[in-house]
Amino acid sequence: MLRRKLFVQLTEKHMRLQHKTALITGGSSGIGRETALLFAREGARVVVADVDDAGGNETVTLISNEGLEAAYVHADVSKAADCEHMVAFAEKTYGALHILFNNAGIMHSNDDDAVSTEESVWDLTMNINVKGVFFGCKYGIPALRRAGGGSVINTASFVALLGAATPQIAYTASKGAVLSMSRELAIIHARENIRVNALCPGPLRTELLMKFLNTEEKKQRRLVHIPMGRFGEAKEMAQAALYLASDESSYVTGTEFLVDGGITAAYVTPEL
């Protein structure tokens, strides 16, 4: 019994998010699900928010099956009331909120260049990708204040810094807005023990991107620009988010945290 107690104590000491509550939007799949699983394994109590109730509850079940803590809340991040409710749910369920991961986002299949993209596609993309981050911060930051500080992670993209090889004007513009918003929020709240960083993934092998890059030609147009020569994985983004959520990044705020296989560091010719 004493040996088991000692093992538990030693394990808890190595948990990077012990006694913290994390709210993750878009937690039903992809980066959101992998991050929810990893955060829970690192000791966090996780609130999964999504419009996909089946997927969100599945994420919670996967966490619960490991004997870890998680809860699901339905939230359309483009709606202020839903964002206010998900934050209140997190505080009511677990007592406080310490980590806010504004990860929910879309990449519309009809997103193209400025000439071809319909206004409705533009509006939908902005409402979810930009307004969703704004609403998350609007209601989440006061909760972090009440907890004595914390970490905000906003999912941007490498296209916030580079133009995309495949036209996706609304998505690219939305991620540029997320990056700019993150920088400003980081400055505003730096003296409140609240850190704000933009996670900027490179091209990933997720359902979101693979649906958009739906031909081998489109995939190769992306891969040819990545020095590592492969798509990233959602698990790799979760590891980056864990660093930004943990106290190990206590002096990190206002960054464009690039996890992109080197795509923004080099110009790669098609011959390579």
Active site residue 251: no
Q: What angle do CA 198, 202, 204 make, to 5 degrees?
A: 115
- State in Å, rounded, how far the first CA of the chain is from the last one: 59
Cα 221 from Cα 101, distance rounded (Å): 30
Pairing of strands 70-74, 45-50: parallel
- Residue 223 CB neighbour total at 10 angstroms: 19
**H helices of the chain, where?**
2-13, 30-41, 53-64, 80-94, 119-126, 132-146, 169-188, 207-212, 216-223, 234-245
Per the structure block, which two tokens stand in for 18? 């012990």
Q: 257 φ, ψ to 5°?
A: -80, 95
- Spot the catalytic one: 72, 171, 243, 251: 171
Q: Among all residues, which ones are annotated catalytic?
A: 171
